[in-house]
């Protein structure tokens, strides 16, 4: 493209599927033949496997040499982008760089080879780690006890709303209290989780400061209120200053306060949801505590509760009798299990290592630098023509800031989506767009603490150039991206199961073949 010299260019390999690369008989490793030895030792191995579990047909796996496999995945990785490639300012997602040492620790065979059915006496080490992690997370959130089981934020929300239900049920108010209040700035999972637990979601609007409208909240609460789900700082990056008043309003009507802790990063070591009056808190381990996420990989969404609610937590609970760790199933009020075994242990171990390596002071610094970075970006981006910062623009933000590209769209036709696509041409990941829903043409930007000032400056510069280009040459932006391995996708087709082949089996089926 003209005028694009010196710009980022992503690799563009014409890389076939690994199934098409394979050639019969190629091998990665030639393993020594052990069959004879095994036969001598234990007899016919096949006879040891129950008949209905024996493989009858050959697996149709691609056959390749080691170097072919390495090159294949190296090429694919070059056509990709992640937190290890550069800035990933996806608002509300906290896409931070995750220290490799934590991956290394989670990969140690002493962790990876553990089996959840092992006898308690043989897993004292990991139980101690999980127990200590629970204590640290209760300290960080200001809660009384924490359950590590949930596998994601939304899963934690679901557990949280089930706990609300159990609490009201014990009080004989389960039928009456069938409403959960959520602000209009909430993450979509909040009303969805409430609905899954059988509640009706009642939406309250935000005021002109971007906070919960207190009058609207007072009007919404009633004896039907089971609880309020709140994100603080909220998805605009604004801290709800009236949180104590909000807690009072909800508690006075007999409701519970649920804290969506996906945005915990900016208040680590600074403020605690428990102290703000929240009864139930979930944490997104995979956002705040060093687990890469995106693409649906394993995560963890532990849920902390006030003392009053601990008896409802899922079983088993890890208890320590002063000498040994034990799994306690004897909890008559427990809602049961929310996930198999004890949660995603490898993810939890990374959080343990992360907290241990940073310490209390380090966690505070995480919060401070993440807020500093977000406000630095906000200040610089405010100077760009075409963008506005809705909701009192003088007020500092916490971890993220939400801009509107509405002026730019009205004047040039270039939308938030187009800006996001064009950013990719600069070798930068786009921010979250069109969320929260209360901001038109929203660009939700969260830089996190893990990117250097130079990287933030590069982002600001790219945004400035794109907005200038919108006024002079909007066509280039409307067709973007040009420099990536995949050019502009049809948004609808790209997320429709009928157009996608997500596995080799699906691919063959689309072409009229079977595996
Ligand atoms: C990410 C996020 C969630 C959901 O977390 P998952 O782990 O993706 O289920 C909930 N609320 C907010 C504010 C979030 O940013």
Q: Is the CB of 263 under 6 A from ligand 1?
A: yes
Percent of the chain with pLDDT over 90: 84
Q: How confident is the model at residue 40 (pLDDT cuts 50, 70, 90)?
A: confident
Cβ(189) to ligand 1 under 6 A? yes
- Report the separation in Å between the CA atom of 444 and the middle of ligand 1, taken as the mean of its atom positions: 14
pLDDT score of 5 more than 60: no
Helical pair 416-424 and 453-472, crossing angle rounded to 10 deg: 120
pLDDT score of 444:
98
Nearest to 143 by CA among 126, 160, 128: 160
pLDDT band for position 51 (50/70/90)? confident
Indicate the DSSP class of residue 203: E
pLDDT exceeds cutoff 70 at 6:
no
Q: How many CA atoms lie within 13 A of 144 on its CB side?
A: 13
**Which are the contacts of 386, defined by CB distance < 8 A and separation ≥ 6?**
405, 407, 408, 411, 412, 414, 467, 470, 471
Q: Cα-Cα-Cα-Cα dihedral of 137, 142, 144, 150, to 10°?
A: -40
Q: 37-41, 65-69, 469-473: lowest mean pLDDT where?
A: 37-41
Q: Whose CA is nearest to atom 7 of ligand 1?
A: 153
Strand partners, 202: 181
* Pocket residue to mutate for ligand 1, from 92, 259, 288, 292, most atoms within 8 A of Cβ: 92
User: Given strand 303-305, what is the order of strands in its sheet?
Assistant: 145-147, 303-305, 280-283, 256-261, 225-230, 179-183, 200-204
- Give, using CA atoms, the residue closest to atom 2 of ligand 1: 262
Is the pLDDT at 293 greater than 90? The verdict is no
Q: Given a cut of 60, is residue 471 above it in pLDDT?
A: yes
Over residues 418-429, the mean pLDDT reads 96
Residue-range domain boundaries for the chain: 104-357, 366-495
Give the H or E element holding residue 363.
Answer: helix 345-381
Q: What's the CA gap between 136 and 355, in Å, rounded?
A: 8
Of the listed ranges 257-271, 294-308, 448-462, 464-478, the one predicted with least confidence? 294-308
What is d(CA 22, CA 423) in angstroms, rounded to the nearest whole number?
36
- How far, in Å, from the CA of 99 to the mean position of ligand 1? 22
The predicted-structure confidence for 141-156, as pLDDT tens digits, reads as follows 999 999 999 999 999 9
CATH number of 104-357: 3.40.640.10
**Range 366-495 classified under CATH 3.90.1150.10:** yes
CB of 277 sitting under 6 A from ligand 1? no
- pLDDT at residue 4, rounded to an integer: 56
pTM of the predicted model, to two decimals? 0.92
Q: 154 C-alpha vs ligand 1 centroid, how far in Å?
A: 6
The pLDDT of residue 3: 45
Task: Provide the token pair at 325.
Answer: 């760790």
- Average pLDDT, stretch 54-81? 91
Q: Is the pLDDT of residue 1 over 60?
A: no
By 3-state DSSP, what share of the chain in percent is helix, strand and coil, each rounded to 5?
40, 10, 50
DSSP codes of every residue in 364-388: HHHHHHHHHHHHHHHHHHTTSTT-B
Is there an atom of ligand 1 within 6 Å of 265 CB?
A: no
Pocket test for ligand 1, best of 284, 295, 435, 436 (most atoms within 8 A of CB): 284
Q: Do domains 104-357 and 366-495 have the same CATH topology?
A: no
3-state secondary structure 397-453: CCCCEEEECHHHHHHHCCCHHHHHHHHHCCCCCCCEECCCCCCCCEEEECCCCCCCH
Confidence of residue 98 (pLDDT cuts 50, 70, 90): very high
Our answer on whether the CB atom of 262 is closer than 6 Å to any ligand 1 atom is yes
Average pLDDT, the chain: 94
Instruction: Calculate mean pLDDT across residues 466-491.
Output: 94
Residues contacting 3, CB < 8 A, separation 6+: none
Smallest CA separation from ligand 1 atom 3, residue: 153
Range with the poorest average pLDDT among 194-203, 266-275, 286-295, 359-368: 286-295
Write the pLDDT tens digit of every residue in 194-232. 999 999 999 999 999 999 999 999 999 999 999 999 999
Closest CA to 334 of 319, 316, 308: 316
Enumerate residues 6+ apart whose C-beta is below 8 A from 42: 48
């Amino acid at each position: 493209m003209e005028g694009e010299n010196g710009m980022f260019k992503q690799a563009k390999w014409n890389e076939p599927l690994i199934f098409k690369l394979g050639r019969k008989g190629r091998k990665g490793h030639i393993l020594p033949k052990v069959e004879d030895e095994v036969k001598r030792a234990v007899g016919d191995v096949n006879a040891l496997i129950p008949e209905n579990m024996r493989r009858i047909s050959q697996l149709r796996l691609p056959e390749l040499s080691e170097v072919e496999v390495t090159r294949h995945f190296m090429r694919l990785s070059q056509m990709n982008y992640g937190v290890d490639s550069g800035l990933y300012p996806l608002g509300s997602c906290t896409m931070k760089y995750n220290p490799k040492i934590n991956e290394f620790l989670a990969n140690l065979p002493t962790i990876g080879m553990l089996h959840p059915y092992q006898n308690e006496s043989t897993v004292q080490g990991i139980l101690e780690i999980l127990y200590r992690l629970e204590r640290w997370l209760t300290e960080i959130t200001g809660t009384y006890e924490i359950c590590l089981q949930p596998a994601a934020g939304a899963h934690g929300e679901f557990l949280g709303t089930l706990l609300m239900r159990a609490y009201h049920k014990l009080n004989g108010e389960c039928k009456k209290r069938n409403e959960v209040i959520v602000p209009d700035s909430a993450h979509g999972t909040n009303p969805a989780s409430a609905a899954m637990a059988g509640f009706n979601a009642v939406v309250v609007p935000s005021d002109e400061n971007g906070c919960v409208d207190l009058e609207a909240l007072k009007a919404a609460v009633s004896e039907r209120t089971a609880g309020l789900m709140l994100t603080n700082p909220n998805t605009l990056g604004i801290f709800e200053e009236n949180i104590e008043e909000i807690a009072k309003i909800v508690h006075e009507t007999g409701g519970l306060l649920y804290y969506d802790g996906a945005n915990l990063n900016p208040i680590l070591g600074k403020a605690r949801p428990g102290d703000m009056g929240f009864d139930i808190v979930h944490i997104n381990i995979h956002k705040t505590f060093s687990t890469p996420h995106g693409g649906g990989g394993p995560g963890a969404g532990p849920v902390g509760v006030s003392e009053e609610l601990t008896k409802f937590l899922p079983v088993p609970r890890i208890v320590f009798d002063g000498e040994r760790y034990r799994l306690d199933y004897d909890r008559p009020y427990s809602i049961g299990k929310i996930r198999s075994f004890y949660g995603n242990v490898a993810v939890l171990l990374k959080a343990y290592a992360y907290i241990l390596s940073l310490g209390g002071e380090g966690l505070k610094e995480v919060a401070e630098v993440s807020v500093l970075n977000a406000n630095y970006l906000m200040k610089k981006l405010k100077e760009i023509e075409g963008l506005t910062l809705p909701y009192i623009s003088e007020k500092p933000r916490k971890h993220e800031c939400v801009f509107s590209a509405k002026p730019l769209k009205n004047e040039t036709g270039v939308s938030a989506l187009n800006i996001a696509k064009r950013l990719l041409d600069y070798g930068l990941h786009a921010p979250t767009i069109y969320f929260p829903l209360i901001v038109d043409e929203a660009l939700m930007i969260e830089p996190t603490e893990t990117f250097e000032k130079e990287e933030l400056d590069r982002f600001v510069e790219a945004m400035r150039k794109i907005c200038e280009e919108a006024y002079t040459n909007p066509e280039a932006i409307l067709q973007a991206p040009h420099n990536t391995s995949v050019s502009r996708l049809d948004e609808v087709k790209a997320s429709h199961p009928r157009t996608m082949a997500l596995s080799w089996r699906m691919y063959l089926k689309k072409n009229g073949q079977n595996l």
